[in-house]
Structure 1
Amino acid sequence: MTFLFAINPVSGGRDKSVWEESIRTYFADSPHSYHHFYLNGETDDVMIREQIAQHHPDCVVAVGGDGTIKCVATELLGTGLPMGVLPAGSANGMARELGIPPDVNESLDILVHGTLKPIDVISVNDNDICLHLGDIGLNAQMVKHYEQNNFRGKLGYLRSVVRVLRNRQQLRVEITVGEECVQRAAFMIVLANARMYGTGAVINPDGDLSDGKFEVVIFRRLSFWEIIKLFWRYQPFDPKQIEILPATSVTIETLRKAYFQVDGEYRGRITELHASIRPSALTIIVPNDATP
């Protein structure tokens, strides 16, 4: 096989030369071949397409965090090429969901010896996709502040939590799933293709990346301690505080502009959102013992 590694040099604030050297060492005595290139954050989509056309790989590997995975996955949709993941970001929520370990050699072993798993993708507003989790409201506002913060990691996230909690407000929303339309007052509405945030906080216990649907998770109440549970993974959410609606498509309308993020990237403020499932739209290499 020929692997093509798309390396994000700034993902997670860590030096990727160690990852590059580990890749080189791993394939030194391997029957497989590889090529690699660095993303620049400006023309990544063009670079990925050009590198695929030049090298004709059997698999394209995202080396970075959730944003890098999203970037690579977007270019692979419709190509039939599978994607691999080396989790080199700060949170690595998608890798955690797929059971891919943070150790570089272990994740390289999965690339070579793993199994192909088709997963669903959520189409959002016809011009975006969500692989993992997207949301409207409080967490999206924290993502915005986190991106503007000079700090990283849990300290940066905690600073964002404190800042947002000072002025938290409920949203008035109308949510249409199939023939059902409900009106709610909520602090946050999540499009959940997966089970947990990158912090490890499980918000959608029955989430499955390959079940042909996603869940709309409505946080009707959200106290300071519930927010902190987004920060510490071992704390489950109180089911009395949330409502979960299974969906293959959804329309969400808000009375006023609301903060919106997809897969950890802030997308601005919106008043309307349309989302629908694209079953088995992407194939990823996962551990052999991963849940089918």
Structure 2
Amino acid sequence: MTFLFAINPVSGGKGKTDWTMGIKNYFANSTHVAELRYLDGKTDAQIVSQAIDELKPDRVVAVGGDGTLKIVAEQLVDTGIPLGILPAGSANGMARELGIPAAIQESLDVVVNGKLKAVDLIAINDNDICLHLSDIGLNAQVVRYYEKNNWRGMFGYFRSVLKTLRKRRQLRVEIDTGEECIQRIAFMIVLANARMYGTGAVINPDGDLSDGRFEVVIFRRMHLWGIIKLFWRYRPFDPKYIEIIPATSVTIETHRRAYFQIDGEYRGRITRLDARIRPGAVTMLVPPDVSM
């Protein structure tokens, strides 16, 4: 088989020499072929698309974080070509969600020997997709500061959180799922295809990447310590502070422009978004022991 590796050389704030050498060493004596392409941060989609057209790979692998994974996944929607992950980013939420090992050798074993899993996507405003988690409000503001200041790693996230805490504001939102329309005051609204953030914080305990729906998670009340725990907590949040609404489509409107991010990539400030589920749109490679 031919494996195409799309490598983000700056994700995680570190060079990818170890990952590159790990890939080359792994395939050195293999009957399979590894083709490496490096993203440049400007024409990433074009680089991946051209490599797929040129090489006709059997499998494509994103080497980076959730943002890199999203870029690659966009080129594979509805193609049936399996998508693998080497978790080389600062926050590897989707890799954590799928049980992908952090070590190079073990994650490469999944790329080569893993089983296939059909994963849903959330289509947003008909021109974007979300594999993992998108949100309006507090966390999107954290992502904005993180990107704007070019901070990297978990320490960079922590600095962004502290800056956000000083400027946090609640939102007045209207949420229409087609079955009900509700109004809420909230710090943050999450569109959750998955269960947890890359930090391990579980915000959607019953989330399932392949159940044909997503969840709208409403953070209604949050005290200071609760906001900090949002980013470093490994068990579900207190239901007194959140509300979870299952949906297959949703329209969300805010009374003022609010920060918005998709899979760890800041998308600007919005007052409205439309989202709908796309069941089984991408095929992922997961460890053999991961339950389907």
Scaled by the length of structure 1, the TM-score of the pair is 0.98
Q: How far does residue 31 in structure 1 lie from its aligned partner after superposition?
A: 1.6
Counterpart amino acid of 1:151? Answer: W
My pick for the range that moved more, 40-49 or 259-268, is 40-49
Match of 2:107 in 1: 107
Match of 2:220 in 1: 220
Query: What is the CA deviation profile of residues 223-265 of structure 1, one whole-angstrom value per residue up to 9, with x for unaligned ones?
Result: 1111111232335411110000000000000011111000011
Match of 1:133 in 2: 133
What is the rounded CA distance, in whole Å, between the counterparts of 1:221 and 1:56 in structure 2?
A: 49
What is the rounded CA distance, in whole Å, between the counterparts of 2:235 and 2:169 in structure 1?
A: 23
Counterpart amino acid of 1:85? Answer: I
Query: What is the CA deviation profile of residues 192-237 of structure 1, one whole-angstrom value per residue up to 9, with x for unaligned ones?
Result: 0000001100000000000000000000001111111123233541
Query: What is the CA deviation profile of residues 33-75 of structure 1, one whole-angstrom value per residue up to 9, with x for unaligned ones?
Result: 1111101111111111111111111001101110100000001
What is the rounded CA distance, in whole Å, between the counterparts of 2:228 and 2:69 in structure 1?
A: 26
Match of 1:246 in 2: 246
Match of 1:13 in 2: 13
Q: Are 2:201 and 1:201 equivalent residues in the alignment?
A: yes
Counterpart amino acid of 1:118? Answer: A
Matches within 5 A, 1:1-292: 1-234=1-234, 236-292=236-292
SS in structure 1 at match of 2:231: coil
What is the rounded CA distance, in whole Å, between the counterparts of 1:225 and 1:76 in structure 2?
A: 40
Q: Is the 8 A contact 1:173 1:186 kept in 2?
A: yes
The alignment-based identity, stated in percent, is 68
Q: How far does residue 82 in structure 1 lie from its aligned partner after superposition?
A: 1.0
What is the rounded CA distance, in whole Å, between the counterparts of 1:9 and 1:167 in structure 2?
A: 32
Q: How far does residue 167 in structure 1 lie from its aligned partner after superposition?
A: 2.4
SS in structure 2 at match of 1:9: coil
SS in structure 1 at match of 2:283: strand
Counterpart amino acid of 1:187? Answer: F
Q: Is the 8 A contact 1:154 1:231 kept in 2?
A: no
What is the rounded CA distance, in whole Å, between the counterparts of 1:154 and 1:68 in structure 2?
A: 17
What is the rounded CA distance, in whole Å, between the counterparts of 1:151 and 1:35 in structure 2?
A: 30
Scaled by the length of structure 2, the TM-score of the pair is 0.98
What is the rounded CA distance, in whole Å, between the counterparts of 2:114 and 2:36 in structure 1?
A: 20
Query: What is the CA deviation profile of residues 63-102 of structure 1, one whole-angstrom value per residue up to 9, with x for unaligned ones?
Result: 1110100000001113221111101111111100010011
Counterpart amino acid of 2:199? Answer: T
Q: How far does residue 128 in structure 1 lie from its aligned partner after superposition?
A: 0.6
Q: Gaps (5+ residues) in structure 2? A: none
What is the rounded CA distance, in whole Å, between the counterparts of 2:66 and 2:241 in structure 1?
A: 27
Counterpart amino acid of 1:55? Answer: L
SS in structure 1 at match of 2:68: helix
Q: Is the 8 A contact 1:253 1:271 kept in 2?
A: yes
Q: Is the 8 A contact 2:204 2:236 kept in 1?
A: no
Query: What is the CA deviation profile of residues 155-196 of structure 1, one whole-angstrom value per residue up to 9, with x for unaligned ones?
Result: 222222222222221111000012200000111000000000
My pick for the range that moved more, 183-192 or 22-31, is 22-31
